[in-house]
């Protein structure tokens, strides 16, 4: 479990020592493979790490931690104390800390500036101000209890291979006490919210479906008793809109048994194709380069112009 995050003592009993498992995979790793197997190979086998820090990821981490801190105080102490927090000051501190941490890991190369950081701080403060004034619409302490913040998942990813574990952290987990229902939330930071295309993206929405499946497996909660939701916060709103604009967008993807089984089959296929029974990566198979319709998968790919590792002629459109 990440240091400083909350988890209910009862649920803490079902945590596993992640360092003791043979192989861990994450949602981002599986999603990379689903989008383009070649990109997965270049990242995870060849170790040509394509991740780079950005102001968006820095802001996302800082905002997550600020909102999660508010919710932890709200549920484990009191609403009054949570409301007394100086959230702007907390967000400012966390932005600075996260940016400094990223600088240390990337050799001190700056990827933002004071003006841009100030803009993101103002955006985040506006979201938090909007949220705290309407908090009751989204979170209540009546009949609800906090199960976990950044709750760690570490459980076998596929029943066909006990050496590969699904590993990740759930942003917020709540329990509705009267119905004993678990509610899983994933916080997303976005410029102006998700459009219909993003909501319809099966890889994007599969994150919460997988979390639902693996939470059920690890903690012994029936899937029918688990609901999931994307909690999307908007940095920008349409100022001159004819209708009042919300800073928060809630989206509950289809998460029934059919969708659950479909996502699990996809993860099973990934594990079978890419790992042996001991959890070693399959380095000998051919990993296809899938550019997608209109080369959409290549648009933001860091290997877009790396023709030595990903020849243009090899890329498949589908």
86, pLDDT greater than 90? yes
Query: Domain locations in the chain?
Result: 9-272
- By mean pLDDT, which of 41-50, 184-193, 272-281 is the weakest? 41-50
Please report the sign of the dihedral spanned by the C-alpha atoms of residue 254, residue 258, residue 260, residue 262. Answer: negative
What is the tens place of the pLDDT at every residue in 233-258?
A: 999 998 777 778 899 999 999 999 99
What is the pLDDT, as a whole number, of residue 134?
97
Weakest mean pLDDT among 118-132, 171-185, 299-313:
299-313
pLDDT tens track for 61-70: 999 999 999 9
Mean pLDDT of the chain: 95
pLDDT band, residue 140 (cuts 50/70/90): very high
Lowest model confidence (mean pLDDT) among 44-53, 129-138, 308-317: 44-53
- Quote the pLDDT of residue 51: 76
Which pLDDT band, with edges at 50, 70 and 90, does 52 fall under?
confident
- Given a cut of 60, is residue 99 above it in pLDDT? yes
For the domain made up of 9-272, give the CATH fold. Lambda Exonuclease; Chain A (3.90.320)
């Amino acid at each position: 479990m990440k240091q400083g995050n909350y988890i209910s003592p009862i649920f803490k009993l079902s945590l596993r020592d992640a360092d003791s498992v043979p192989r861990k995979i994450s949602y981002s790793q599986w999603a990379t493979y689903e989008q383009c197997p070649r990109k997965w190979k270049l990242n995870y086998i060849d170790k040509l790490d394509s991740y780079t820090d950005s102001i968006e990821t820095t802001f996302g981490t800082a905002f997550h931690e600020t909102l999660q801190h508010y919710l932890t105080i709200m549920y484990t102490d009191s609403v009054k104390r949570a409301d007394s927090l100086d959230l702007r000051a907390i967000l400012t501190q966390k932005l600075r800390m996260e940016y400094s941490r990223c600088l240390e890991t990337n050799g001190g190369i700056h990827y933002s500036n004071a003006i841009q950081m100030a803009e993101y701080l103002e955006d985040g403060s506006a979201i938090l101000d909007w949220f705290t004034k309407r908090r009751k619409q989204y979170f209540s302490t009546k009949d609800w209890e906090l199960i976990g913040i950044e709750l760690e998942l570490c459980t076998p990813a596929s029943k066909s291979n006990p050496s590969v574990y699904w590993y990740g952290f759930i942003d917020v987990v709540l329990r509705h006490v009267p119905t004993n229902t678990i509610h899983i939330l994933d916080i997303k930071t976005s410029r102006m919210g998700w459009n219909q295309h993003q909501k319809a993206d099966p890889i994007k929405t599969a994150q919460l479906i997988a979390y639902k499946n693996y939470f059920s497996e690890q903690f012994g909660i029936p899937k029918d008793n688990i609901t999931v939701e994307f909690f999307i916060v908007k940095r920008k709103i349409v100022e001159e809109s004819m209708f009042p604009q919300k800073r928060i967008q809630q989206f509950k993807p289809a998460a029934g048994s059919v969708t659950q089984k479909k996502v699990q089959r996809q993860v099973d296929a990934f594990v079978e194709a890419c790992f042996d029974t001991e959890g070693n990566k399959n380095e000998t198979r051919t990993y296809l380069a899938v550019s997608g319709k209109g080369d959409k998968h290549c648009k933001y790919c860091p290997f877009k112009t790396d023709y030595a590792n990903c020849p243009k002629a090899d890329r498949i459109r589908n």
